[in-house]
């Protein structure tokens, strides 16, 4: 578990002087709107109260010298050598942000940097965006860019963080994670419309309805740059081409029967159905949250899970089992979180049933011979900023 102090102390040990500061950014749990962002659709993320932190100082040259508390080895790369696929691994997310800011004509240089995270990595909670956005927050202050001061600046940072992920780390993601980490609001979910980039903060308060959001880590892991995620993105682009629209967002629920018939391919029709119905579920869920109707929120999640499992086909047996057992043990609803192919499930659980639900899922995993899942109650965190 890293804190602002632990990354600052490690920086001092490694570089022999104090960092200029410590910055951090949250992970997120996306209540609704998976695989909709890159289709110009709606998402409804909540910043998570678990973060990635960076202690950093600017250098006089253009070297990026980066150390992680969580991954062995150091990353050393001159900024002018950062390009698609270089550096590899976690360094790409951090270096890519400096690369993108520089490409926008902003006066960035090299940095010394130590990163530590209390997010699960590759588990659907947006660990890569938390790294990008904490580096972006640090860069904004270290190089006097002033981009944390207002929403327009934060939106610009979010775009550069997404470019880092798409163009240097080579993961063809959309922008929900970066938007949530930089532009989210404490205690709120954020309904993001990726067609016109408007935001609607919605109060997030399950406790008022006697519920909590339990996140269960199924111990299965994905890598967004490794294939499957990109396949879904490519399929959606292909469907848009076939239907003659620029974005799948243009297709509404009422258009679905005709559009599906036009595609004439059950797999592509399923992908389309997921995106279109998920958009509708996101808009409805924002209203349910506003009304404090957590039973309806939970019901939407279960429907979304079925859509991810059957239409988008991004679930795994462990994930389906966790969802089914959680509901059987008293959760009001549950779903896979994030891009899929591994990671976490979230369940809306009445507070007095949390132990029972977690226990039932653990037991079912033991019977099935799966690695034991872990869980925690999610609390809403605050957006990226300076800690020390």
What amino acid positions are annotated as catalytic residues? Answer: 177
Q: How far is the CB of 381 from ligand GLA (least distance, A)?
A: 17
Least distance in angstroms from the C-beta of 35 to ligand GLA: 5
Q: At what angle do helices 317-328 and 354-368 cross, to 10 degrees?
A: 140
Q: Which stretch binds ligand GLA (CB under 6 A): 8-16, 61-69, 173-181, 375-383?
A: 173-181
Indicate the residue among 91 and 338 with the shorter CB distance to ligand GLA: 338
State which residue, 45 or 373, has the beta carbon closest to ligand GLA.
45
Of 47-55, 83-91, 169-177, 191-199, which segment contacts ligand GLA by CB under 6 A? 169-177
CA atoms within 13 A on the CB side of 41: 27
Instruction: Identify the CA nearest to 356 among candidates 341, 370, 375.
Output: 375
Decide if residue 383 touches ligand GLA (CB under 6 A): no
By CB under 6 A, which span of 13-21, 34-42, 92-100, 279-287 interacts with ligand GLA? 34-42
Could you tell me if 166 and 156 are in contact, meaning their C-beta atoms sit under 8 angstroms apart? no
User: What region does 210 belong to: left with phi over 0, alpha with psi -120 to 50, or beta?
Assistant: left
Is the Cβ of residue 24 or residue 279 nearer to ligand GLA in the bound state? 279
- Residue 167 or 177 having the CB closest to ligand GLA: 177
For residue 90, report the phi and psi dihedrals to the nearest 5 degrees: -65, -30
Among 23, 29, 38, 93, binds ligand GLA (CB under 6 A): 38
User: What is the number of the residue whose Cβ is closest to ligand GLA?
Assistant: 339
What letter would DSSP give residue 164?
I
Residues 207-236 that bind ligand GLA (CB under 6 A): 224
**Which helix or strand (DSSP H or E) is residue 281 part of?**
helix 266-290
Nearer CB in complex with ligand GLA: 126/318:
126
Q: Is 174 an interacting residue with respect to ligand GLA (CB under 6 A)? A: yes
Residues 322-361 that bind ligand GLA (CB under 6 A): 338-339
**Exposure b/e, 293-330, CB count within 10 A at least 16 = b:** ebebbbbbbbbbbebbbebbbbbbebbbbbbbbbbebe
Kindly provide the b/e burial profile for residues 160-193, where b requires at least 16 CB atoms within 10 angstroms of the residue's own CB.
bbbbbbbbbbbbbbbbbbbbbbbbbbeebbbbbb
Which residues of the shown chain bind ligand GLA in the complex (CB under 6 A)?
34-35, 37-38, 126, 173-174, 176-177, 224, 338-339
């Amino acid at each position: 578990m890293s804190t602002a102090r632990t990354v600052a102390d490690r920086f001092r040990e490694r570089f022999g002087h104090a960092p200029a500061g410590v910055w951090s950014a949250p992970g997120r749990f996306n209540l609704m709107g998976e695989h909709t962002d890159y289709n110009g659709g709606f998402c409804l993320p909540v910043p998570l109260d678990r973060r990635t932190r960076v202690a950093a100082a600017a250098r006089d040259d253009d070297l990026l010298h980066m150390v992680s508390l969580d991954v062995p080895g150091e990353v050393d790369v001159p900024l002018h050598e950062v390009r698609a696929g270089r550096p590899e691994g976690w360094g790409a997310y951090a270096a890519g942000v400096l690369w993108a800011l520089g490409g926008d004509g902003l006066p960035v240089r090299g940095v010394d940097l130590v990163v530590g995270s209390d997010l699960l990595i590759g588990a659907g909670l947006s660990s890569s965006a938390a790294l990008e956005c904490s580096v972006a927050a640090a860069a904004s202050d270290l190089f006097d860019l002033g981009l944390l001061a207002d929403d327009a600046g934060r939106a610009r940072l979010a775009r550069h963080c997404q470019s880092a992920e798409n163009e240097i780390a080579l993961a063809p993601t959309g922008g929900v994670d970066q938007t949530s980490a930089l532009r989210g609001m404490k205690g709120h979910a954020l309904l993001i419309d990726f067609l016109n980039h408007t935001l609607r903060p919605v109060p997030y308060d399950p406790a008022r309805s006697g519920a909590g959001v339990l996140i269960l880590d199924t111990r299965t892991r994905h890598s967004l740059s490794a294939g499957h995620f990109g396949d879904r993105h490519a399929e959606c682009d292909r469907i848009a081409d076939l239907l003659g629209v620029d974005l799948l967002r243009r297709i509404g629920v009422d258009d679905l029967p005709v559009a599906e018939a036009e595609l004439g391919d059950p797999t592509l029709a399923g992908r389309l159905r997921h995106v279109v119905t998920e958009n509708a579920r996101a808009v409805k869920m924002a209203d349910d949250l506003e009304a404090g109707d957590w039973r309806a929120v939970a019901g939407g999640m279960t429907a979304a899970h079925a859509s991810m499992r059957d239409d988008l086909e991004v679930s795994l047996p462990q994930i389906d089992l966790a969802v089914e057992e959680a509901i059987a043990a008293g959760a009001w609803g549950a779903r896979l979180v994030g891009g899929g192919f591994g990671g976490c499930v979230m369940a809306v659980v009445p507070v007095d049933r949390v132990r029972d639900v977690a226990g039932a899922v653990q037991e079912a995993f033991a019977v099935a011979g799966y690695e034991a899942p872990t869980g925690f109650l999610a609390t809403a965190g605050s957006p990226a900023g300076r800690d020390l």
